[in-house]
Structure formats: C-alpha cells, structure tokens
Homo-oligomer: A and B are copies of this chain.
Amino acid sequence: MSVIEHIQSKLGDLDAWLIPHEDAFLGEYLPAANERLAFVTGFTGSAGIALVTKERLHIWVDGRYTVQVQSQVPAGTQVHHLHETPIGDFFAELPQGSRVGFDSFCVSARQLRLWREGAPGVAFVHGHNLVDACWPERPALPSAKGFALSDKLTGKSCQQKRQELAKTIAKKADVALIAQPDSLAWLTNLRGADIPCMPVMLMRGLLSASGHLKLFVDIARLPADAELGSDVEVFAPEMLGAELAALKGQKVLVDEGLTSAFLVEELNMAGATVVLGTDPALIPKAAKNAVEIDAMRETHLRDGAAVSQFLCWLDGIVAKGERPDEAALAEQLESYRKAQADYLEPSFDTISAAGANAALPHYNFRNGTPAKLPKDGLYLVDSGGQYRLGTTDVTRTVAIGEVSAEQKHLYTLVLKGHIGLGRARFVKGTCGHQLDYLARAPLWAEGYDYDHGTGHGVGQCLSVHEGPQRIGKAANNYPILPGMVFSNEPGFYRVGAFGIRIENLVTVEKAEAPGDREVMCFENLTYIPIDKRLVDKSLLSDTELGWFNDYHAKVLAKIGPRLEGESRQWLEAACAPL
C-alpha cells in the first residue's frame, strides 16, 4: 500500500487530507522529520501544498517547480499552479458540506480564515496529523543543544530586549504569543541547528507586558552560557497548551500570519481575547543596533574574502579552458566560506546557474543534472553564508569566455539600477514600494523588467529572508528604519538564453542634509568585485561611473588585506578603475 493509499484508508468521515509544505513553525526550511510534503508526494521543492482526496493526489506548486514536480509525483497526480489556480479556489468548488481534514498547527490563522471565508460550505476539521500516522520511519525531531550569542555580537541582553518589547505589548495586550522561532532566537540571543539554512531552535514563547518570558523548549537543549536574565521560565514544548488555557480573560497579542491556527483556536477556546497585531519582535529585530550592524559588517568582510577567492579561482580555471558543472562550482565556493572563522552553513540553497539556466531566477541545480559552464556566456551565482556573527547573501554574474554586446548592454542596465537604488536618499517614513522604481528605471526605459522583488530583509545569523520590510512593486507599509538590512538585487532574464543579477546587501544609515526632514541612505555591507568585463562604460553617467570606481576602491581597501598571493593580485586587477 502506498503512503497515499494509506492516508486514504484513514480518511474516515473526511473527504480529503491537507498537507502543506510548512510544519508547525510555518517557515520555509524544515527539519527532516517535518518534510511531510516530500514524504507523501516525492516533491522536494521549498513551497507547495497537497491534498489527498478519496480519488487522487492533488498538488499545488509555483512557477519555479512546474517542470520538476512532474518528474517527482506519482502518476495520476493532478498538478495545479499555486498562485494562478490556488487551492482556495479548489475549496470553493467542493460540494457543500465537504470535510477537509488538516493539522491546524501547520496552517497560519490568517490562511485558515481566508480559506474559510472563501469556502463557507466546507468544514475544515483539525485532527492528529495523518501523515505522521502513516510514517513509521519518520526521522527524529531535532534535539541538539543550541548556542548563545554574547552581548558583544547582539548589543543587548535578553533582559533588555524583553523590557523594551514589554512596553510595546503593554500598549495593546497583557501578553504576546511569539510563535516565530527567529523572533525568539533574537529575543533570547540563542541560536541552534534544528533546520537547514537558518540557525535557530524551534521554540515558542509567551512574553508578558511586564517582560516575563515563558519559553517553550526542552530545557536540556539550552546551552550552559545562555543568559536569559531574571523573570524567565522554561517549559517543555508540550506545556504550551496548558499555559494558553490559563490565559482566560487576558488580552493576548497574536500575529495572525505568523501563528498556527491551532494556537489561536486554543486561545479562543480558553476564553482569552485575541488581539491581532504585529509580532512585537519583528521591527526591533529588523532595525538592527550598532553592535549587530558591526557584526554584520565583519561577517561581510569574511564572506567577501571567500567569494573573491572563488571568483579568482573561477577566472583561473576558465582561462585554462576548464568548464566544471554547477554543482562543482557551488562546492568550490562553499569550500572558501568553510575556511572562514565562525562559518556555520549556507544561508540558502546556492543558485549556481550556467548559461540558460540562469534565466530561472530561483534555479536549483539539485533538481536535475547540473550543467557545465558554457564555452562563452554568463555564469550567475547567488549564495550566502550563515556565520555565528551574521548572515550574507550576494549575487554575481560572471563573464565566461566571450560575451555579446547585448549581454553587456543588459548587464549595464541592471548595474545602473543597482547603483540607482544604492545611491537613494529618502526621508523618514519612506516604505520599500517607494524606492523600487530606482532599481528598475534603466530597464523600464528600454522595455525590460524582472519578475521578482528588488530587496528583502536579512537577519543577523537568522533568516536570509527577514520581514517585514521589503523593496518591491507591491505595497509594503513598514517604514524603512536605520539599521535595517536589505538586499539590492535587480536582474534581467531571457528565457532559454541567459540571466543577469547583481546583488549586494546594504544597511540603512542616517544621512546629513540641510533640510528639516530626517534623511536616510544605504551603506553597502557586501564588498566583492562586480565583473567589469560585462560593463558597457559608455552607458554609465559620470555619477554612476564614480560610484562604480569608488565601490571597487573600497572593496580593495577592505578585502585586500584579507587575501594573499594570486587572489590578492586578482582582486587588485578586478578593482582597478574602469
């Protein structure tokens, strides 16, 4: 009996069982024990949702995975597009009275509300996870000890952070349910290795308006040097239900999009008043303090040295006529990062994309046979590292052999957009959607564009995709604050031919200005050469050329002392003025 038949056999009075990619912590990356979607369907992508009905398996994936999914799921599976024909539409068309079973830990309260609003005739029925019941060989849940970051890296103790958040909570509630592991990691200055690419322990907390913290994690997993301060209690994770039940009559702040529907329903049943709002850790975590930013700067110098060594090596082997494949290149790149102090792991799956593969902005060579570098063309590598002191994310597009005038033209338009956003000056209160134009303007003027956002937030030794701030076409109503970290990553993609992206991380600083408004600007964190062999200098204004040469002078000054011999020579040439 296949696992799908096994689940079908256990449906009972249900018409279907829902299997989101997410686990109870609602994040992108999962421990092996919670890779339920992959276990049931075979599909290994990083986003998707499946529904096992009495008749068949349905799966929803986005545009990145429409090819891959076909080769991974069982014959007879019906594949849907995650955004164009969303599962909510499917629910809306189910017969009146249909019963869809699901584990309401693995769906956010907001998602469940939207599904229910869109399909009032369907009953969404919470139950013990049917997948787990059909998974005898399920891997063990993470149990390793976490590690503590000292105040020298975080700038604030857990006690200080709790007191500051308590003031925010007190304005609207008695206690906040903090359901996101990275919010708690930031709050407690603890990190871990429960999931790939984001160094956190999977835990939850209840922070009161007086700063008292109830932390739900196996106490044996806390490192000896954890400094949580006074007024913190540690509970076993399974005690959360009882503690929620004890909140009767209290106002509990919940971030609806970041919290499991199960937990919100527990609060409602307990007679607590659920107050919807933003996770109180979200903004303080995003707007980093000076100590955190200093740690991020040092992280990027180490990372810059590693990536520069890789780019030097790449130029060398290409010159010798070697054309390794995308997997070998990614491995070589990581070998340089591994040699840096405090390196932990990649901050996401490296996008190592040769030639036409780079036209897929989220290409993953692991999903097929890795391609070899072309004799002539472009190589795009988007990668990042988790270090104990910070997180990096950088994209470089590199000339391999000969490149065409058109490729140089388009690369230079992308570069102009990157510089345009990098040079932005803006007043207090500005949100990401107001700046997105800067990165696109040179492409738009000629009728080109890219179908992804321009800038996402990045955590410190935390998520490489950190909210709530974002620079993109869509509205984002969180004002940009000093200390926030953004990616600056315009691109251009020609299907079947090539892809271009130039990405640095930047942080937000206050700027001097004569006027009466507070002005901010971006300061680069990433210092790694941008391939000047791809630049058509005639397209750059004096200001843009000045930025480009000034940037490379800084790269040489900051990274040069960390390199020796061949790579140091390579860096000097790569940073010579254009």
- Residue ranges of A at the interface with B (Cβ–Cβ < 8 Å): 424-427, 429-431, 433-438, 440-441, 443-449, 473-475, 477, 513-519
Contacts and interface: CB of A to CB of B under 8 A. Distances in A.
A427 B446 contact: no
B477 A519 contact: no
B517 A444 contact: yes
Contacts of A515: 443, 446-449
**Total copies of the chain:** 2
6 contacts: A426-B444, A427-B449, A433-B433, A434-B436, A446-B519, A475-B477
Nearest to A436: B434
A444 B473 contact: no
B425 A445 contact: yes
B513 A445 contact: yes
Nearest to A492: B515
A447 B519 contact: yes
A516 B447 contact: yes
Nearest to A435: B437
A433 B514 CA distance: 26
Contacts of A425: 441, 444-445
A514 B475 contact: no
A452 to B, nearest CB: 14
Contacts of A474: 475
A141 B475 CA distance: 43
Contacts of A516: 447-448
B438 A473 contact: no
B436 A514 contact: no
A478 to B, nearest CB: 12
A424 B440 CA distance: 11
Contacts of A430: 444, 473
A427 to B, nearest CB: 5
A440 B428 CA distance: 13
Interface of A is mostly: loop
A448 B436 CA distance: 20
A447 B427 CA distance: 7
Contacts of A440: 427
A430 B449 CA distance: 11
A56 to B, nearest CB: 30
Contact of A513 (B429, B447, B477): B447
A424 B438 CA distance: 11
A444 B477 contact: no
B519 A444 contact: yes
B477 A447 contact: no
Nearest to A516: B447
A424 B444 CA distance: 9
Given A427-B440, A437-B437, A443-B515, 8 more contacts: A424-B441, A425-B445, A427-B444, A434-B436, A434-B473, A448-B515, A449-B515, A475-B475
The 8 closest A-B pairs by CB, nearest first: A447-B515, A475-B475, A447-B513, A448-B515, A425-B445, A447-B519, A447-B517, A449-B517
Contacts of A477: 475
Contacts of A445: 425, 513, 519
Nearest to A429: B473
A438 B444 CA distance: 14
Contact of A438 (B437, B449, B475, B514): B437
Contacts of A436: 434
Given A426-B444, A444-B425, A444-B519, A433 B513 contact: no
Nearest to A445: B425
Contacts of A473: 429-431, 434
Contacts of A446: 513-515, 519
A390 B185 CA distance: 60
Nearest to A438: B437
Contacts of A426: 437, 444
Given A445-B425, A446-B514, A447-B517, A434 B431 contact: no
Nearest to A477: B475
A437 B426 CA distance: 9
A447 B512 CA distance: 8
A73 to B, nearest CB: 32
Nearest to A426: B444
A43 to B, nearest CB: 30
Contact of A448 (B443, B444, B517): B517
Nearest to A413: B515
A327 B517 CA distance: 34
A211 to B, nearest CB: 29
A342 to B, nearest CB: 38
Contacts of A429: 473
